[in-house]
A and B are shown apart, each in its own frame.
Chain A
Amino acid sequence: MSVDLQTVKRVARLARIAVSEEDAERMTGELNAILGFVEQLNEVDVSGVEPMTSVTPMEMKKRQDVVTDGSKAADIVANAPATEENFFLVPKVVE
Chain B
Amino acid sequence: MSDLTRLTISQARAKLRGKEITATEITEAYLSAIDRANPALNAYVAVTGDRARDMAKASDARLVKGEGGALEGIPLGIKDLFGTEGVHTQACSHVLDGFKPRYESTVTANLWADGAVMLGKLNMDEFAMGSSNETSYYGPVINPWRRSRLDTVVMPTTHQGDGGFVTAGGTKTQRTLDNAQLVPGGSSGGSATAVSAFLCAGATATDTGGSIRQPAAFTGTVGIKPTYGRCSRWGIVAFASSLDQAGPIARDVRDAAILLRSMASVDPKDTTSVDRPVPDYEAAIGKPIKGMKVGIPKEYRVDGMPEEIEALWQKGIAWLRDAGAEIVDISLPHTKYALPAYYIVAPAEASSNLARYDGVRYGLRVPGKDIVEMYEKTRAAGFGREVKRRIMIGTYVLSAGYYDAYYLQAQKVRNLIKRDFENVFAAGVDVILTPATPSAAFGIADEDMAADPVKMYLNDIFTVTVNMAGLPGIAVPAGLDPKGLPLGLQLIGRPFEEETLFQTAAVIEQAAGTFQPEKWW
Find chain B residues with CB under 8 A from A66 CB: none
- Asked if B38 is at the interface of the complex by the 8 Å CB criterion, the answer is no
B368-396 interface mask toward A, CB cutoff 8 Å, 1 = contact, 0 = none? Answer: 11111111110110010000110111011
* C-alpha spacing A57/B395, complex, angstroms: 27
Find chain A residues with CB under 8 A from B402 CB: 1
Given contacts A15-B379, A33-B453, A60-B271, contact A91 B102 (CB under 8 A): no
B247-280 interface mask toward A, CB cutoff 8 Å, 1 = contact, 0 = none? Answer: 0000000000000000000001001111100000
Question: Which of B365, B377, B392, B454 is close to A81, meaning CB atoms less than 8 Å apart?
Answer: B365
Given contacts A18-B377, A37-B343, contact A3 B396 (CB under 8 A): yes
Q: Does the CB pair A52–B377 fall under 8 Å?
A: no
Find chain B residues with CB under 8 A from A49 CB: 412, 415-416
B222-263 interface mask toward A, CB cutoff 8 Å, 1 = contact, 0 = none? Answer: 000001110000000000001000000000000000000000
* C-alpha spacing A40/B272, complex, angstroms: 30
Find chain B residues with CB under 8 A from A51 CB: 408, 411-412, 414-415
Q: Does the CB pair B412–A16 fall under 8 Å?
A: no
Find chain A residues with CB under 8 A from B457 CB: 37
Interchain nearest-CB distance for A33 vs B (Å): 6
* C-alpha spacing A81/B228, complex, angstroms: 35
Interchain nearest-CB distance for A26 vs B (Å): 9
Binds A, one of B73-81, B287-295, B356-364: B356-364
Q: Does the CB pair B395–A11 fall under 8 Å?
A: yes
* C-alpha spacing A94/B374, complex, angstroms: 12
Q: Does the CB pair A50–B102 fall under 8 Å?
A: no
Binds A, one of B198-206, B306-314, B334-342: B334-342
- Asked if A5 is at the interface of the complex by the 8 Å CB criterion, the answer is no
Question: Which of A52, A55, A79 is close to B229, meaning CB atoms less than 8 Å apart?
Answer: A55
Interchain nearest-CB distance for A73 vs B (Å): 11
B394-428 interface mask toward A, CB cutoff 8 Å, 1 = contact, 0 = none? Answer: 01100100100110111111111010000000000
Residue from A14, A19, A42, A44 whose CB has the most chain B CB atoms within 10 Å: A44
Find chain A residues with CB under 8 A from B368 CB: 91
* C-alpha spacing A78/B229, complex, angstroms: 31
- Asked if B490 is at the interface of the complex by the 8 Å CB criterion, the answer is no
- Asked if A67 is at the interface of the complex by the 8 Å CB criterion, the answer is no
Interchain nearest-CB distance for A37 vs B (Å): 5
Which residues in chain A, 47-93, are within 8 Å of chain B measured between CB atoms?
49-56, 58, 60-61, 63, 72, 75-82, 88, 90-93
* C-alpha spacing A60/B242, complex, angstroms: 15
Find chain A residues with CB under 8 A from B369 CB: 91
Given contacts A15-B391, A27-B392, A78-B102, contact A94 B453 (CB under 8 A): no
Find chain B residues with CB under 8 A from A94 CB: 370-372
Find chain A residues with CB under 8 A from B336 CB: 40
Given contacts A55-B228, A88-B361, contact A11 B392 (CB under 8 A): yes
* C-alpha spacing A35/B454, complex, angstroms: 10
Find chain A residues with CB under 8 A from B453 CB: 30, 33-34
Question: Which of B227, B414, B454 is close to A56, meaning CB atoms less than 8 Å apart?
Answer: B227
Q: Does the CB pair B374–A91 fall under 8 Å?
A: yes
Q: Does the CB pair B360–A44 fall under 8 Å?
A: no
* C-alpha spacing A82/B411, complex, angstroms: 40
Q: Does the CB pair A38–B340 fall under 8 Å?
A: yes
- Asked if B495 is at the interface of the complex by the 8 Å CB criterion, the answer is yes
Question: Which of A7, A8, A38, A79 is close to B361, meaning CB atoms less than 8 Å apart?
Answer: A79
* C-alpha spacing A46/B407, complex, angstroms: 13
Q: Does the CB pair A80–B362 fall under 8 Å?
A: yes
- Asked if B45 is at the interface of the complex by the 8 Å CB criterion, the answer is no
Q: Does the CB pair B393–A31 fall under 8 Å?
A: yes
Q: Does the CB pair B228–A11 fall under 8 Å?
A: no
Q: Does the CB pair A58–B380 fall under 8 Å?
A: no
Given contacts A15-B379, A16-B376, A19-B380, contact A41 B340 (CB under 8 A): yes
* C-alpha spacing A12/B413, complex, angstroms: 28
Which residue numbers of B lie inside 8 Å of A, CB to CB?
A: 98-102, 227-229, 242, 268, 271-275, 334, 336-337, 340-341, 343-344, 351, 355, 358-365, 367-377, 379-380, 383, 388-389, 391-393, 395-396, 399, 402, 405-406, 408-416, 418, 452-454, 457, 470, 495
Interface pairs (23), CB distance under 8 Å: A3-B396, A11-B396, A15-B351, A15-B379, A16-B355, A17-B391, A18-B377, A27-B388, A33-B453, A38-B406, A41-B340, A41-B410, A44-B412, A56-B227, A56-B229, A56-B495, A61-B271, A81-B360, A81-B363, A81-B364, A82-B365, A90-B360, A91-B368
3 A-B pairs closest in CB distance:
A51-B411, A79-B362, A18-B376
A-B contact sample (14 more), CB < 8 A, given A16-B358, A41-B410 = A11-B392, A16-B375, A16-B376, A17-B383, A31-B393, A38-B340, A43-B337, A51-B412, A51-B415, A55-B272, A56-B227, A72-B102, A79-B98, A94-B371
